[in-house]
Amino acid sequence: MKKSFLFLFLLTQTLLAQTPCENGLAGEYPCNDYDLMSNIPNETLGNITTESNDCWGWTDPETQKEYALVGINSGIVFIDISDPITPVIVGTLNTTTVSSLWRDVKVYNSHAFIVSEANAHGMQVFDLKRLRTSSNLPLTYTADTIFTGFGSAHNIVINEDSGYAYIVGAARNSTYGGGPIFINIQNPISPVIEGGFAAGGYSHDAQVITYNGPDTDYTGKEILIGSNEDEIVIADVTDKTNPTVIATISYSNVEYAHQGWFTEDLKYFILGDELDELRIGNNARTIVFDFTDLDNPLYHFDYFGATAAIDHNGYVKDNIYYQANYTAGVRMIDISNTENKVFSEIGFFDTYPNNNNTAFNGVWNVYPYFPSGNIIISDIDNGFFVIRKSGTLNVAPKTAGVNFSLFPNPANSQTTIRTANKETIKNIKIYSILGKKIVDIKNINKPQYVLKTESLEKGMYLLKINGKLTKKFIVE
C-alpha cells in the first residue's frame, strides 16, 4: 500500500502535460523551437538534498520502449519515457559506496555500465532488460556485477562496435596514471581488463570509434580521441597491448580541454573547454579542429555562444551539435557549414531560468539519440527533463474555430468524437506515442464518430483528426 501511494505521489510530482514553446517560454523556461514534454524535479528523483549529474538513454530492442538513465548523488534512476509527457520512474540502482555528485553511465548490449568518483566505486553493470517489469514500481535494484578492477573514475566511454569500455579519469596514482583503462565487455557481466594507456597522460573524457573517415590510413582501426586537460590526444588503441599516440594538438588560451565529439563525417572534432569562460571571461567557446588527416590535426576555428555560461558536454546528431551549456541550458547549433567555419544557433531550451551566469549550475548532460526524437536533459539543480523539437509531438495545438471533443477519455471499448459546431469529421488517424501510425480511417464525413478501441492495447495514443488537430487519448 505504501509503495502504491509513493508511485502515485511520484507521478503527481512531474509536469504531466506538454508545454509548448510560445513567445520564448515553455512555462517558466526560456526556449526557442523546443517544447517541454515533462520534468521530474530532484526531490522526486531522490530527496531534497539530491543533485543530478549525468544521463544516457536506452531503447529496448524488443519493446521499442525508451528509458532514461539519470545519475544522482546516490545512484542511477531508471525512467520510462515511452510516453514523454508522463514519464514513469521504474526504479533506482544505488551507489556501491558513498554518495558522490560525479557519476557517469553508458550502455552496451542492453546493459548499463556505471562509474563514479566515489571512493572504491568500481564499475556497476546492470541488465537493462530487468526494467521490463511493470508492477510494484518504483523498485530498488542491485547490480548484476560490480567490477573492482579499478576504484574511482570520472567517466566511462564505450565503443559499441568493438565491445570495449574505456575508463577515463581514474586516480592519477593508479596503474595508468589516469589514462584510459581498456576493458573487454563483450560478455557484459564478466568484464576483463586488457590493458591501458598512460602515454597520453590523464584523460578527463574521450570518444572511441571504429574509424571509417577520410584518413584511409586508419580505416577499420579503433581510434581514441582523448580530452586531456591541456591538449587533445589522438591514439590508435586497436592493439590493447600496444596502444600508440598518432598525434596531439592544443590551442590558444587553453584552460581545460574537457570533452569533445566527432562530426558524423569524421572530418572535424568539436571540443568544449570548461574553464575558459570562468578564467578568461569570454562567452561559451567551442573549439573546432580539422581531423581530415589524423597524423596532422589542425585548428579550424572558434565558435562563441550567445552567453557567458560554461559549456559542458556536447554531442552530434546529423548536422546539429547539442551542447549542455550549464546555466544557459541546452543549445542546438547547426554545424552543416563547418567547412566554411560557420556555426549558427538554431534553438535552445534553458532548464535553469534563474540566470546565464558563468557558474556550475544547470545542465550537466543532454542525450539526443532516441529514435523517437525525444531529447533528455539532466540538470544539476532542477532534475530531469524531456524536450522535443517544436511541432513534432503537438498534443494541444490552437485551432481555428473547430472544437472536437472525446468522451470518454480514458476510453475502455470506445470513445465518441464529435464537434460542437457541426464541423465534418473527414478522417481519423491514430499514432503510438512514438509516432507509429496504427489506425487510418478515411471517408467518414460526419459530425460525430464512434471510435472502437477494444483492439488497442492499454496506453496513451495520439489522435489526428482531418490531418490537422491532434488530441491525446488513453485506452485503459
Q: Is the pLDDT assigned to residue 416 strictly greater than 50?
A: yes
Per residue in 28-77, pLDDT (tens digit) is: 999 999 999 999 999 999 988 899 999 999 999 999 999 999 999 999 99
Cell numbers that stand for 165 in this block: 569500455
Per residue in 132-184, pLDDT (tens digit) is: 987 889 999 999 999 999 999 999 999 999 999 999 999 877 789 889 999 99
CB 179 within 8 A of CB 196: yes
Mind giving me the DSSP string for 256-301? -EEEEEE-TTSSEEEEEESSHHHHT-PSPEEEEEE-SSTTS-EEEE
Q: Is the pLDDT assigned to residue 9 strictly greater than 80?
A: no
CB 168 within 8 A of CB 156: yes
pLDDT band at 12 (very low <50, low <70, confident <90, very high): very low
Contacts of 30 by beta carbon, 8 Å cutoff, 6+ apart: 24, 329, 348, 349, 350, 353
pLDDT band at 127 (very low <50, low <70, confident <90, very high): very high
- CATH 2.130.10.10 maps onto the chain at 2-389
- CATH 2.60.40.10 maps onto the chain at 404-475
Q: What percent of the chain has pLDDT over 70?
A: 92
CATH (one of 3.10.20.30, 2.130.10.10, 1.10.3720.10, 3.30.460.80) for 2-389: 2.130.10.10
Of 42-51, 197-206, 284-293, highest mean pLDDT: 284-293
Cell numbers that stand for 91 in this block: 526504479
pTM greater than the 0.85 cutoff: no
Average pLDDT of the chain to the nearest whole number: 90
pLDDT band at 434 (very low <50, low <70, confident <90, very high): low
CATH (one of 2.60.40.10, 1.20.1250.20, 2.60.120.10, 3.40.50.2300) for 404-475: 2.60.40.10
CA geometry: angle 451, 35, 259, nearest 5 deg = 130
More confident residue, 447 or 126: 126
Per residue in 82-103, pLDDT (tens digit) is: 999 889 999 999 987 778 889 9
What is the model's pLDDT at position 433? 61
Query: What is the separation of C-alpha 158 from the centre of its chain, rounded to a whole number of angstroms?
Result: 15
Among 453, 447, 454, 436, residue whose Cα is nearest residue 373: 436
Per residue in 333-359, pLDDT (tens digit) is: 999 999 999 999 999 999 999 999 999
CB 232 within 8 A of CB 249: yes
Partners of 386 in the β-ladder:
38, 376
Q: Measured between alpha carbons, how far is 359 from 238 in angstroms, rounded to an integer?
A: 39
CB 427 within 8 A of CB 442: yes
